[in-house]
């Protein structure tokens, strides 16, 4: 069961700034939870703490049954999709998708199987030999997703993955990501400042303001009782 549990999580940065206050949040197995709020409210900080990229200064974080406060990012069984995709420009799509598996010394045949399966799901099979520079924005976005999928993590973490796309593609990719998440059934925490994105994509939406959790509910309930 891949739940993600934040129990009274706090973040005080080294300069004394208190970015996250007593955050309680339980993301259910297979749930798509969107963390939304204006720029500077602490979304990235919260996500980076789940990923292990930022230290936790108070409270307890669990992924599955495991307390992960002091666990390295690579040992957390999560995969993160960044807003700038962070693709390797000189590697093919195939190698970009398979790179983490190669580092983890997964056998070649298994890498091949998993990369091809991910490419099939993401409709990238025809582009496996191309370099990121030869792809459209939407395709690059899918390669970034492929790198996450192929690791079969307990949870996906996405930080504004659509913010570099134009408006039309953004709407299309919202639907694609939501459908993909449901197909894979992987617990997902998705960060955005875009309220429409939050309301259309999430099973539940958590609203952050100035480092405090204001509300967490289904889009329907938030819409009925804002
Ligand atoms: P969001 O993702 O919602 O835009 P962030 O989590 O990036 O917000 O930032 C939340 C707050 O914490 C902001 O006021 C930001 O300036 C501050 N902050 C982020 N990183 C640091 C840091 N390394 N040191 C001090 N303050 C930081
Ligand atoms: P985003 O809002 O997209 O997360 P930011 O522009 O807020 O990005 O932050 C970019 C980087 O700068 C992050 O690594 C963040 O931790 C750091 N940062 C943001 N605000 C501050 C701050 N006030 N002091 C120090 N570092 C900061």
Q: What is the pLDDT of residue 226?
A: 67
Q: Which atom of ligand 2 is nearest to the CA of 43?
A: 4
- Nearest-CA residue for ligand 2 atom 27 is 13
Protein residues with CB under 6 Å of any ligand 2 atom: 39, 44
Ligand nearest to the CA of 23: 1
| Torsions phi, psi for 190 (to 5 deg) | -125, 120
- Nearest-CA residue for ligand 2 atom 11 is 44
202 lines ligand 1 (CB under 6 A): no
Token pair listed for 44: 């990235």
Query: HSE (CB half, 13 Å, CA atoms) of 133?
Result: 4
Report yes or no for ipTM above 0.85: no
Q: DSSP letters along the chain, please?
A: ---EEEEEEEEE-TTS-EEEEEEEEEEPTT-EEEEE-STTSSHHHHHHHHHTSS---EEEEEETTEE-TT--GGGS-EEEE-TT----TTS-HHHHHHHHHHHTT--HHHHHHHHHHHHHHTT-GGGTTS-GGGS-HHHHHHHHHHHHHTT--SEEEEESTTTTS-HHHHHHHHHHHHHHHHHHT-EEEEEES-HHHHHHH-SEEEEEETTEEEEEE-HHHHHH--
Q: DSSP letters along 42-102, please?
A: SHHHHHHHHHTSS---EEEEEETTEE-TT--GGGS-EEEE-TT----TTS-HHHHHHHHHH
192 lines ligand 1 (CB under 6 A): no
Q: How far is the CA of 118 from the centre of ligand 2 (A)?
A: 32
Q: Which atom of ligand 1 is nearest to the CA of 41?
A: 3
Q: How far apart are CA 3 and CA 186, in angstroms?
A: 10
Closest CA to 98 of 128, 126, 120: 128
Q: How far is the CA of 95 from the centre of ligand 2 (A)?
A: 30
- Profile the chain (226 residues) by mean pLDDT over runs of 10 residues: 93 98 97 97 97 97 95 92 84 96 95 95 95 92 91 92 86 90 93 95 97 97 85
139 lines ligand 1 (CB under 6 A): no
Q: How far is the CA of 18 from the centre of ligand 2 (A)?
A: 14
Token pair listed for 10: 């706090």
Q: What is the pTM of this model?
A: 0.86
Q: What is the pLDDT of residue 132?
A: 95
Q: How far apart are CA 190 and CA 181, in angstroms?
A: 11
Q: How far is the CA of 42 from the centre of ligand 1 (A)?
A: 6
Q: How far is the CA of 22 from the centre of ligand 2 (A)?
A: 21
């Amino acid at each position: 069961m891949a739940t993600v549990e934040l129990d009274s999580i706090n973040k005080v940065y080294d300069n004394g700034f208190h970015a996250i206050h007593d955050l309680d949040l339980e993301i259910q197995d297979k749930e798509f939870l969107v963390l939304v709020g204006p720029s500077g409210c602490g979304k990235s900080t919260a996500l980076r703490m789940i990923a292990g990229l930022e230290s936790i200064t108070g409270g307890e974080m669990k992924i599955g049954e495991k307390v992960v406060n002091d666990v390295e990012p690579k040992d957390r069984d999560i995969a993160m999709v960044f807003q700038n995709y962070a693709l390797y420009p000189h590697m093919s799509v195939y190698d970009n998708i398979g790179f983490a598996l190669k580092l983890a010394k997964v056998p070649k045949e298994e890498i091949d199987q998993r990369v091809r399966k991910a490419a099939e799901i993401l409709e990238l099979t025809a582009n496996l030999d191309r370099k990121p520079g030869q792809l459209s924005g939407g395709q690059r976005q899918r390669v970034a997703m492929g790198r996450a999928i192929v690791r079969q993590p307990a949870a996906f973490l996405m930080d504004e993955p659509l913010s570099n796309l134009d408006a039309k593609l953004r709407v299309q990719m919202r639907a694609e990501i939501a459908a993909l998440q449901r197909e894979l059934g992987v617990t997902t925490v998705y960060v955005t400042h875009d309220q429409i994105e939050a309301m259309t994509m999430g099973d539940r939406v958590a609203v952050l303001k100035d480092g405090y959790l204001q509300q967490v509910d289904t889009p329907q309930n938030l819409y009925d009782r804002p």
